[in-house]
Each structure stands twice: as C-alpha cells, then as structure tokens.
Amino acid sequence: MKHRGFAARFLIRWLVCSLGLWVAAGLLHGSITYGNHIGSIIISGFILAVLNAIIRPILVLATLPAVLLTLGLFMLVINGVTVYLASKLDPSLQISNFGVAILTGVIIGLVNYLVTAILEERSE
C-alpha cells in the first residue's frame, strides 16, 4: 500500500472508517446509532478519517509518555477520543458513552487490520 498516493490512502482510510463504524453499530446495537442512513455512516467515516489524519498524531505525541508507560495500551484511549470527537462533530452519529467509543475504536482497528491485510495480499 506504500506505492499509493495520499488521495488514494485517504480514500481507503475513509472507507475503512465508514465500514468500521457500520460494523461497530451492528455489533454494539443500541449503543451506537446513526439514523440507519448509509449517508450518515459515510459522513461520520469522513470526519473520523480527517480526525485520524490530523488530530490523532497530535494526541499521540502529546501523550507519548502514557503510551510508552502502558506499552501502547493508551492508544485504545486515543482511538476512543477520536471516535468520541467524531460523534460530537456529526450529530447523526450517537455514541452512548466513552467506553463504547473505545470499543468502537477497537472494532475500527480490527476492520482496518483486515482490510490492510487483504489489500497487501492482492498487491503482491
């Protein structure tokens, strides 16, 4: 995936975030709502992709001691913060609490891992 341009990588990240939110909403039924409109998931995925590209690196750098001290487990909190921020920026995405935001971040991370593995396998 390294040979792709910025726009292609961002588009993939956007689609993965949208897919991850949709999967999380299905798995955590009732804790995450998006109005059952695919457009809401796509918009929320875009907002999350932008936050991951801009805000997440700043959060990681600002909390680097906590990330190192917890051997990376604090990244779960950072992922939860980005999901929670996305829900605050997009009123159609409703997340019941911060714990659900952390679980959603984990699910999105797993979806990202699976999609990345599939894309890398296809590019070989």
Each residue's pLDDT tens digit, 54-95: 999 999 999 999 999 999 999 999 999 999 999 999 999 999
pLDDT in tens, 89-113: 999 999 999 999 999 999 999 999 9
Q: What's the start-to-end Cα distance of the chain, in Å?
A: 10
In a domain, 72, yes or no: yes
- pTM, rounded to two decimals: 0.89
Judge whether 1 lies within some domain. Answer: no
Domain boundaries, position 112:
6-123
DSSP 8-state class, residue 96: S
Task: Enumerate residues 6+ apart whose C-beta is below 8 A from 62.
Answer: none
Tell whether 11 is covered by a domain: yes
Query: How many domains in the chain?
Result: 1
The answer to the question of residue 100 being in a domain is: yes
Cα separation of 99 and 82, whole Å?
A: 13
Query: What pLDDT score does 18 carry?
Result: 96
Cα(55)–Cα(109) distance, rounded to whole angstroms? 17
- Whether 77 is covered by a domain: the verdict is yes
